[in-house]
Amino acid sequence: MPVDNALLERRNEPQHQVVKQAIQWLLRLRNNHGNSRLSRQCEQWRAEHHEHELAWQRVQSLQAELSHTLCAVPGTQVAFNTLENSAQGLSRRQALKLLSGAALIGSAAWMTKDTAAWQQWRADYATATGERRGFQLPDGTRIELNTASAVDLDYTAQQRLIKLTRGEIIVSCGGADEGSAFERPLRVESRHGTYDPQDARFILRQDGDCTRLNVTHGQVAIHTAGASVQAVAGQSYLIDDQRIRPAPVSDMDTGAWVDGLIVTRNMRLGDFLIEVGRYRQGFLNCAPAVADLRLSGVFRLEDTDKLLAILPQTLPVRLRYRTRWWVTLEQMA
Amino acid sequence: MSSPELAVHTLYSSHHGWLNAWLRTRLGNAADAADLAQDTFVRLLQRTERLELKAPRAFLRTIAKGLVIDHWRREEIERAYLQTIAHLPEAETPSAEARALVIELLESVARMLEGLRPKVRQAFLLAQCEGLTHKQIAAHMGLSLRSVERYVADALYHCYLLRYEN
């Protein structure tokens, strides 16, 4: 499954030319604010191809994120002066001390995951790797955040919007929203779609290329750019930039983490370790020879080292700790 | 143990001491050097497919350099930020906690903009931080409007590649 998704994503990547066009549209619209003819032309361009729309969404959210972040720095010119001054200082130090012609770009190119730190900062509610927390929102809605997850709240007089920016949440509707004078619909958003719940409890998990929705109570209307589906209790869907489709039966209980558990049914060891890896820092994998072994059971998430330690009791594997943050499962000799 | 991991293990035992010493001469301090040497191997484990064993020390140095730059960037931003807010009246000085958050925030922006030419970065930041129009930026920086437009677009494209195609 992960391999298929990666291929799918690569095939749908917008061409560089399209990204550049999206940037041109964004800048043109910003410099001609309120020009409705230009807005219509831009909308036409976006509708021409799903690549256009994807590039547009990304460019726009990147731009919004940057300006939102920079505006959060208090004081006039503080952000600008600090960034300019430090960039000059940094290039001076590089010239003095590293003395090499290599492209000096820091480790950003090595660690795509670093962008997670950024999202965590901006988010209203966030959890670190291995952490799980629940929050009662002022309107009575309850959200549970799984490991390495983040949401932003956008509550105004007219709406209640919860944006999942990273990871996985469970949302439980709290009924009447009594604190508000107006009727404010509750809406949840992930990178791939929006979800309008009706007296519902549901799980939303956002991965790189798609979002998985599981409805456990009530109903949730799913909307994407091109489609809408009404999901009812017991149903699961996968939502990506292209479509909404019923999710294949999962080999684990999707919401068990809220009780601190992973519950599996005949799950591949390789897939199981990817799941467990979400809850711990470092590097966890297994030898190809054991990746297809199957396991069923209930595992406690609170201490993943303990969890790993019991695997050799049920499977012909042994655990190898190269360091605290580097763990491999190998075939029993 | 599969061969990429074996390779990391061999790298670690043969070159850890050397890397530590190399970092120490750059950073001038043993504790930072030990941390960054450790980090270098953590990064390697996450990237085993890129192992290039013909020149292991050059390879380790490339990764370690990236981490040294991260470390310096952090120090430079702290320094520059404290200097920028130094003139504020005491009542407006942010708390230690607020300062730490702002520094973290600026660090992530700086990381994103790294590698841009200075003029491109300045034009982009003037648009983003100060909300200046392209015309105002052109006047401020003594550039043509066309250049400013190109610079701002280039910077956004750079951020896009870093975020989505890394």
Domain containing B127 — which CATH number? Answer: 1.10.10
Tokens of A35: 């020009």
Residues 6+ apart with CB under 8 A from A232: A215, A218, A219
Put simply, the answer to whether A325 touches B76 (Cβ < 8 Å) is no
Which fold does the domain A122-246 belong to in CATH?
A: Jelly Rolls (2.60.120)
Beta bridge partners of A205: A168, A212
Whether residue A113 is predicted with pLDDT greater than 60 in this model: the reply is: no
Cα B81 from Cα B93, distance rounded (Å): 12
Same domain flag for B18 and B60: yes
pLDDT number for residue A109: 39
B119 and B79, same domain (yes or no):
no
d(CA B112, CA A226): 32
Residues B125 and B164 in one domain: yes
Q: For A290-325, write each residue's pLDDT tens digit.
A: 999 999 988 889 889 999 999 998 899 999 887 777
**A:B CB pairs within 8 Å:** 189
In a domain? residue B156: yes
CA distances from B101 to A73, A324, B40, B42, B98 (A): 9, 29, 26, 26, 5
Q: How far is CA B108 from the centre of its chain?
A: 8
Residue pLDDT, tens place only, B113-155: 988 888 999 999 999 887 888 999 998 888 899 999 999 999 9
Clarify whether residues B48 and B82 are in a common domain: yes
B146 and B81 co-located in one domain: no
**How do residues A139-160 score in pLDDT, each as one tens digit?**
888 999 999 888 888 877 778 8
Domain residues for B153? Answer: 115-166
As for the ipTM of the complex, it is 0.84
Q: Is A67 on the interface with B (CB under 8 A)?
A: yes
Residues B124 and B62 in one domain: no
Same-domain pairing of B85 and B119: no
Mutate to test the interface with B, among A59, A90, A129 (most CBs of B within 10 A): A90
**Domain count across chain B:** 2
**Residue A103: Cβ within 10 Å count:** 9
Q: Are residues B89 and B133 in the same domain?
A: no
Question: pLDDT by residue (tens digit) across A209-226?
Answer: 899 999 999 999 999 988
pLDDT at A42: 92
Distance CA B34, CA B23 (A): 8
Helix (H) or strand (E) holding B59: helix B56-85
Together in a domain, B25 and B86: yes
Helix axes B56-85, B96-113, angle to 10 degrees: 130
The three-class DSSP label of residue A32 is coil
| Structure tokens belonging to residue A30 | 């910003």
* CATH number for B38: 1.10.1740
Q: Is the residue at B22 inside a domain?
A: yes
pTM: predicted TM-score of the whole model, two decimal places: 0.50
Q: Residue A105 above 80 pLDDT?
A: no
The whole-angstrom separation of Cα A153 and Cα B109 is 22
Q: Examine residue B109 and state whether it is found in any structural domain, yes or no.
A: no
| Cα–Cα distance measured from residue B161 to residue A108, given in angstroms and rounded to the nearest whole number | 12
DSSP B12-60: HHHHHHHHHHHHHHHHS-HHHHHHHHHHHHHHHHTTGGG---SSHHHHH
Question: Phi, psi (5° rounding) for residue B54?
Answer: -65, -35
Residue B108 lies in a domain: no
Q: Are residues B89 and B120 in the same domain?
A: no
Domain check: are B71 and B122 in the same one? no
Q: Residues A307, A286: contact at Cβ < 8 Å?
A: no
Tell me how far apart the alpha carbons of residues B129 and A71 are, in angstroms, rounded to a whole number: 7
Q: How is chain A split into domains, by residue range?
A: 2-71, 122-246, 256-331
Dihedral of alpha carbons A94, A97, A102, A105, sign: negative
Q: Which of B49, B64, B96 is the last residue of a domain?
A: B96
Cβ of A66 and B112 within 8 Å? yes
Structure tokens at B76: 């430079």
The minimum CA-CA distance between A184 and chain B, rounded to whole Å, is 32
Task: Tell me which of A186 and A76 has the higher pLDDT.
Answer: A186
B110, A84 in Cβ contact below 8 A? Answer: no
Residue B52: per-residue pLDDT: 53
A256-331, what's its fold?
Phage tail protein beta-alpha-beta fold (3.55.50)
Contact B119, B133 (CB under 8 A): no
Per-residue pLDDT of chain B (166 residues; tens, 9 = 90+): 455 666 777 788 888 889 988 888 888 788 888 888 888 888 777 765 555 556 778 778 878 888 888 899 999 999 999 988 887 777 778 888 888 889 989 998 999 998 888 899 999 999 988 788 899 999 888 889 999 999 999 999 999 998 887 6
The reply to whether residue A79 touches residue B159, judged by beta carbons under 8 angstroms, is no
Give the separation between CA A218 and CA A238, rounded to whole angstroms: 18
pLDDT on residue B50: 52
Q: Which residues of A are less than 8 Å from B13 in CB distance?
A: none
d(CA A238, CA A203): 12
Domain identity same for B16 and B90: yes
Among residues A256, A258, A273, A254, which one has the least CA distance to residue A311?
A: A273
**Among A227, A217, A275, residue whose Cα is nearest residue A251:** A275
A101 touches chain B (CB under 8 A): no
Contact A85, B83 (CB under 8 A): yes
> Cα–chain-centroid distance for residue A74?
28
pLDDT, averaged across chain A: 83
Instruction: Extract the tokens encoding A165.
Output: 């920016």
